[in-house]
Amino acid sequence: MALLYCVHDDPVEAGSDSTGVAGRLAFRYQENDDIFDNVAGDDIGEREAYMVRPSVRWDVSDSLTIDLIAELGKDEGDGPSARNILDPRTVTTTSGFVPPRDKFDLALETTPTNELEWSHLIAELNWEVGGGVLTSVTGLREMEQESLVDVDGTDLSIFDFNPFIDQDQFSQEVRWSGLVSDSIFLTTGVLLFFSGLGLQGTPNNFRWGSHARFALCARA
């Protein structure tokens, strides 16, 4: 496993306008070798994954700040592994399957696989206005995953499953918070959410959305 973390700042000098740009980059990488012995084929457990997350903060003025956070990553390798047990009531046992003696060994006829990719972007704006703070948070996210699973967990060709998921979503929140009197603090706003889900290679099988309005008062 390796981790790289970098920060760059554009410092603000004392007495100057509080504007400037700061950036940050985070990177994560992980690699695994095979973990489980598979007596019926290739050993299982190999995996490689990475994630990159850049972020930027822009202090536009004394009263306005914008934050941007992005992330993208990929995770691929061997997928989830099933291990069947000896049970005379099951089809696998009556078909002649005998599980490995070692409880950590597998006997899979199909090598499981998994490939996952994702990306997202978040933008947040905070503006001091009207005696309070107006905040806007926008989110975008996409994800694709394809895997292959030997569901029966044996060296027999009984049940393999090959799911595919393609998902995207969008959200937008706008809220204002501040004092509306000497003793009352108000937070109010709206939230929108939309999402699409595609299964087994067919895009947008399901699409839905929702919205909400909210208000919260508290004593200052």
Banded pLDDT at 16 (limits 50, 70, 90): very low
Banded pLDDT at 201 (limits 50, 70, 90): low
User: Which residues are registered as beta bridge partners of 183?
Assistant: none
Question: Rounded mean pLDDT of the chain?
Answer: 88
Alpha-carbon separation of residue 144 from 13, 190, 203 (angstroms): 45, 29, 11
Of the candidates 60, 75, 76, 63, the residue with the CA atom closest to the CA atom of residue 20: 60
- Check pLDDT > 60 for residue 141: yes
- Check pLDDT > 80 for residue 18: no
Alpha carbons 122 and 56: distance in angstroms, whole number: 11
- For a pLDDT cut of 70, what percent of the chain falls above it? 90
| Tokens linked to 186 | 């108000």
Asked if residue 177 lies in contact with residue 143, where contact means CB atoms within 8 angstroms, the answer is no
The domain over range 2-219 is classified in CATH as 1.10.287.1770:
no
pLDDT in tens, 59-117: 999 999 999 999 999 999 999 888 888 777 877 777 878 888 888 899 999 999 999 99
Would you say how long the chain is, in residues? Answer: 220
Q: Which residues contact 115 (CB under 8 A, 6 or more apart)?
A: 74, 75, 76, 145, 146, 147
- Residues 121-147, mean pLDDT to the nearest whole number: 96
pTM of the model: 0.79
pLDDT in tens, 150-186: 988 888 888 898 889 999 999 999 999 999 998 899 9
